[in-house]
Amino acid sequence: MFTADVDKAREFYEGILGLRLSDRSGSLIAFLHTPHGSDHHLIALAKSGGGGLHHTSWCVPSIDEVGQGAQQMVRAGYREGWGLGRHVLGSNYFYYVRDPWGSYAEYSFDIDYIAAGQEWPAGDHPAEDSLYAWGPDVPEEFVFNAEITVPA
Ligand SMILES: [Fe+2]
């Protein structure tokens, strides 16, 4: 999710909803998990000029299904996207498909899991680690908040 203030949004998700920080990159992006056992992040908060949805993520059971999903969407005419690649934070394989509204749907496989009660030392990582370990170059339009409208 995009937000104008990552730190303030974190206060809400941590203080009111009880989520916990998994990893972050300064005040640019924060990844949060639940204390009862969850993926590395149920939600990530990314700095932008305002609120918005960047992507939803859909877990699939294998890297083959990440590739097959990508292939299916390309064949259906959805050629804009990013991947195949692997994230650093969460360490999942990914392929993002741009949807008709300008945000993305992510095929995801093998994200880190943080078990209930597990000590997870949240790190503050360099900005480049918030994107990927390997994969194609990040498309220019990838980090774009389609929900911020320009006043007429
Ligand atoms: Fe994601």
> pLDDT band at residue 149, thresholds of 50, 70 and 90?
confident
> pLDDT band at residue 152, thresholds of 50, 70 and 90?
low
Evaluate if residue 150 carries a pLDDT over 90.
Answer: no
Give the residue from 68, 63, 112, 74 showing the smallest Cα distance to 90.
112
CA of 51 to the centre of ligand 1 (A): 17
* CA gap 51, 61 in Å, rounded: 31
| pLDDT in the model for residue 135 | 98
> For the chain, what is the mean pLDDT?
96
Give the residue from 54, 55, 109 showing the smallest Cα distance to 84.
109
Evaluate if residue 60 carries a pLDDT over 70.
Answer: yes
CA of 49 to the centre of ligand 1 (A): 20
CATH architecture, range 2-130 = Roll (3.10)
| pLDDT in the model for residue 38 | 97
CA of 16 to the centre of ligand 1 (A): 23
* CA gap 89, 114 in Å, rounded: 12
Mean pLDDT of 20-24: 97
Percent of the chain with pLDDT strictly greater than 90: 93
Evaluate if residue 52 carries a pLDDT over 70.
Answer: yes
Q: Tens digit of pLDDT for each residue in 68-127?
A: 999 999 999 999 999 999 999 999 999 999 999 999 999 999 999 999 999 999 999 999
CA of 43 to the centre of ligand 1 (A): 8
Q: What is the pTM of this model?
A: 0.94
CA of 145 to the centre of ligand 1 (A): 15
